[in-house]
Amino acid sequence: MELEGKVILVTGAGGGMGQAIVRKLLAEGAHVAGIDLSEAAMAGLDHERFTAVGADVLAEEAMAEAFAAVHEAHGRIDSLVNAVGIAQAAAPIEDVPLSQWRKLLEINATALFITSKEAVRYMKARREGAIVTIASISAVRPRPGLQAYIASKGAAESFSRALAIEVAPYGIRVNTIHPGPTDTGMLGQFAASGTDAEQAKKEIFADSVPLGRLVKPDDIADSVIHLVSDRTKMMTGAVLHVDGGRGL
């Protein structure tokens, strides 16, 4: 068990990727706190080393309390995995309300600022830590009609690299994963309204992956394990494409 004794917070823990990430972290021996708006979505993750926190990642005080509680319980925070996110249904820019742009930027980018700030507080004291953020290969290879989502993911990558150089002197590593189209509840939500989500998954998304299939949540979880483990002690500011070649 590679992560025995490590204490790790995961946002978006109730999501398709979040659940797979939590399960693999638990299987490697870590103590995990999952944060998600939906407590019900985390119900299946029940484990003696798992704590579910039902909260909004944009609620600054609730996040401060969640991190403080984890630190109090274990005396350390080793890693933060930012897997929270929301999708945008593809639409021409003229049809996208400003409120939707703002919501996407808030949850997909501003939330990273809020949770990373809390994580760094505790990691600096121990002079070690690993933060992993799930962004998206669309930041590198855009699809039409996803301008707000893709801008938020570009911000996620830039923020992670900026934080990596800032906190490197404290032994804290910050890395990004860019998933390709991944088989979770979110994927169908990228289809334009009026399009059949299951058909879009097959005909638009799976067919766009050079390796010939959708990414599985476990593919992403395996890379998360890699980046929070001691095997990647000299990796920071890196951007890992786990996309079946979609970004090529």
Which parts of this chain interact with ligand NAD (CB under 6 A)? 12, 14-18, 36-38, 41, 56-58, 83-86, 107, 134, 136, 179, 181-182, 184-187
Report H helices in the chain. Answer: 16-27, 60-74, 98-105, 111-126, 147-167, 197-200, 217-228
At residue 241, what is the residue type? H
170 as an active site residue: the answer is no
At closest approach, how far in Å is the CB of 59 from ligand NAD? 8
**DSSP class of 159:** H
What six digits make up the tokens of 122? Answer: 């505790």
**Nearest residue to the partner ligand NAD, using Cβ:** 15
Q: Return the number of the residue (170 or 208) whose C-beta is nearest ligand NAD.
A: 208
Beta bridge partners of 244: none
Nearer to ligand NAD (CB atom), residue 77 or residue 107? 107
Q: Which of 50, 67, 122, 149 does the annotation list as catalytic?
A: 149
What gap in Å lies between CA 169 and CA 80, rounded to an integer?
Answer: 18
**CA nearest to 240, candidates 57, 221, 230:** 221
Nearest distance from residue 233's CB to ligand NAD, in Å? Answer: 25
- Are 152 and 108 spatial neighbours (Cβ–Cβ below 8 Å)? yes
Query: Which of residues 77 and 114 has its CB atom nearest to ligand NAD in the complex?
Result: 114
Q: 173: which strand partners?
A: 130
Rounded to a whole number of angstroms, the minimum distance from the CB of residue 55 to ligand NAD is 7
Residue closer to ligand NAD, measured from CB, 189 or 229: 189
The nearest distance, CB 169 to ligand NAD, in angstroms, is 28
Residue 68 CA to residue 72 CA, distance in Å, equals 6
> Catalytic positions, please?
149
